Structure 1
């Protein structure tokens, strides 16, 4: 199951919710078994500090069970609360989200590969990746 991305860059003042509704931000519904999230964080290009990058990702709902994704959702709750409308907004740099996504995808592939052999799954696989997400969030 692939990941679909639509990219849109903003500077901080334009993120206020003018709701222009044009362009790729009003994308179609995600496929069954997937959900859309918006990742909003500092632009990775080393530009001015007030520039933010926003990107929409469509991810499998299975990500909701992964501890790294749960931590991102916790940060979204702390930043925006539970009253979000539409896609969940995650306060994280896009590049950092991609790294988290890559780890989750790799672990899911690894688990699916080893889980289909009929033998018991050994818990040591889940601790192979140590990933600190503290750098993802704004202070």
Structure 2
């Protein structure tokens, strides 16, 4: 399997006893509070001495749900980034 491109990272997701799936996510996820919460779960489950890819100990369906929220938040933040520029068009 090819390594992720620059700005992205591979992670594994799956509860203990379930088959884990690989996801490739943007490194910007590391700044999102929901992803930080998942990392906290991973630290409690595996500690800091875990070898290999970051492993998130939650169900794949739950991760996809959280991923959707993170992606929507990121998209909304990108759109808001342009608002100050556009706001000048509407000044009286």
Establish whether TM, by shorter chain, passes 0.5. Answer: yes
Q: Which has the higher contact order (CA 8 A, sep 6+)?
A: 2
Distance in 1 between residues matched to 2:35 and 2:46, nearest whole Å? 16
Within a 5 Å distance, the mapping from 1:68-83 to structure 2 comes to: 68-83=34-49
Within a 5 Å distance, the mapping from 1:36-75 to structure 2 comes to: 36-41=10-15, 52-75=18-41
SS in 2 for 1:52: coil
For structure 1, which segment, 77-86 or 64-73, has the greater mean C-alpha deviation from structure 2 after superposition?
A: 77-86
Offset, 1:115? 1.2
Match of 2:52 among 57, 64, 86: 86
SS in 2 for 1:56: strand
TM-score with structure 1 setting the length:
0.58
RMSD: 1.4
Offset, 1:117? 2.1
TM-score with structure 2 setting the length:
0.85
Structure 1 ranges of 4+ moved more than 6 A: none
Offset, 1:91? 0.3
Number of residue-to-residue matches in the alignment = 85
Is the counterpart of residue 35 in structure 1 residue 9 in structure 2? yes
What is the aligned partner in structure 2 of residue 98 from structure 1?
64
- Note the residue ranges of structure 2 that are not aligned, 5 or more in a row: 86-92
Larger proportion of strand: 1
Offset, 1:112? 0.2
- Note the residue ranges of structure 1 that are not aligned, 5 or more in a row: 1-26, 43-50, 120-139
Match of 1:113 among 70, 76, 79: 79
Larger proportion of helix: 2
